[in-house]
Chains A and B, each alone.
Chain A
Amino acid sequence: RKEVEQDPGPFNVPEGATVAFNCTYSNSASQSFFWYRQDCRKEPKLLMSVYSSGNEDGRFTAQLNRASQYISLLIRDSKLSDSATYLCVVNEGTGFQKLVFGTGTRLLVSP
């Protein structure tokens, strides 16, 4: 079983749609969780951290379910500029970042 598993997609959605991605992780001792965004041939950039209580940043909402070991990302009112690959990232380390990256979910938003 992969340590961090994501549906690779692509998810093709029209502008204005709501889209959700899920990610599962295998290490129950994982400490912290993140969503990164990666544009084609570019470096990953932090989109948001994921907290146990859930968190929202504008059109983006992240949720964590520790019991089921999954993380979700919801994007509302999709924009063309949201087209990218979304990486689920889990920190298994203590004392330093032992980040485990998912392979990413590709989102394509069309006019």
Chain B
Amino acid sequence: NAGVTQTPKFRILKIGQSMTLQCTQDMNHNYMYWYRQDPGMGLKLIYYSVGAGITDKGEVPNGYNVSRSTTEDFPLRLELAAPSQTSVYFCASERGPNEKLFFGSGTQLSVL
């Protein structure tokens, strides 16, 4: 089982560029999440989804968008990259609330 797969692993963007961070899971999990982790800080929730077609904002959604057209995929879109979005991004999924959370291996993003 692949689990949660994120691509790319690393990316450097210029200010104002856009990109999509891909996340896919093969465990048929309904719940999916995007977190960012800044150095020395805890993970912060950006967006989450409780099923295909349903998404909602987390704690730090500004500057990001998501979609959930299938159970498997939950891409995160940055429209106008800013230096404040330099961070490590983790996608995660779980079968249901209070179950074990599975994380992808992360995307290290630098905006210069």
Stretch at the interface among B13-21, B62-70, B78-86, B95-103: B95-103
Instruction: List residues of A (58-74) whose CB comes within 8 Å of B's CBs.
Output: none
A32 at the interface (CB under 8 A from B): yes
| Chain A 36-62: CB-based contact to B (< 8 A → 1; otherwise 0) | 000001111110000000000000000
What secondary structure prevails in chain A residues at the interface with B?
loop
Contacts of B43 in A (CB 8 A): 44, 87, 99, 101
Chain B residues bordering chain A, tally (CB within 8 A):
22
Instruction: List residues of B (27-71) whose CB comes within 8 Å of A's CBs.
Output: 31, 33, 35, 40-45, 48, 50
Contacts of B48 in A (CB 8 A): 96-97
Known: A97-B33, A103-B42, A104-B42. A43 touches B94 (CB 8 A): no
Residues of B participating in the A interface, judged by any CB pair closer than 8 Å: 31, 33, 35, 40-45, 48, 50, 90, 94, 97-98, 100-101, 103-106, 108
